[in-house]
Homo-oligomer: A and B are copies of this chain.
Amino acid sequence: MSAITVAEFNTLLQKVPLATHMNISAVHIRKGDVRILMPYGPHLIRPGDTICGPAMMTLADVAVWANIMSFIGPQEMMVTTNLNMNFLRMPGLSDIIAEARTLKMGRRLAVAAVEIIAANTDEMVAHATVTFALPQ
């Protein structure tokens, strides 16, 4: 069972104004398995009628934050130590979904992989791996 609910996570996310600006919210959180939504809006675009890369990086970071809290509960003070993202194809003007999967939940570091998916085609448009330092 997840150590944080969708409602608890979405409340915590309001402490990150940039995520609020992007209307990012959790849809589904189970232990080690989360789904986060960033609905399409004109504030997310870039030239080429597509979603800008930084919006997808933000979404990946949020997804891993949620993923880790599904193990350890609400925790504001975790910080990202590394994020690596490969951009695979342009998503078009679509809602974007992130699905994060835990690779490691250690005592000091947690690592997760994230698939970024364009909702209108269900294609993976980017892939990230993200490391967080856990509070000691």
Q: Does A57 contact B (CB under 8 A)?
A: yes
- Interface residue from B44, B45, B127, B133 paired with A109 (Cβ < 8 Å): B133
Instruction: Assess whether A90 is interfacial by the CB under 8 Å rule.
Output: yes
Q: Is A16 an interface residue (CB 8 A)?
A: yes
Determine if B131 and A129 form an interchain contact, defined as CB atoms under 8 angstroms apart: no
- Which residues of chain B are within 8 angstroms of A129 by Cβ–Cβ distance? 84, 86, 127, 129
A3 within 8 A of B: no
Q: Is A122 an interface residue (CB 8 A)?
A: no
CB distance from A27 to the nearest CB of B (A): 19
* A86-B81, A127-B113 as given contacts; A43 in contact with B61, CB under 8 Å: no
Asked if A131 contacts B16 (CB within 8 A), the reply is no
CB distance from A77 to the nearest CB of B (A): 6
Interface residues of A (CB under 8 A from B): 15-19, 21-22, 42-48, 52-55, 57-58, 61, 76-77, 79-90, 103-104, 106, 108-109, 111, 113, 124, 127, 129, 131, 133
Known interface pairs A54-B54, A54-B61; 9 further A-B residue pairs with C-beta atoms within 8 A, sorted by A's residue number: A15-B47, A16-B46, A18-B55, A54-B57, A57-B58, A58-B58, A79-B87, A79-B90, A82-B86
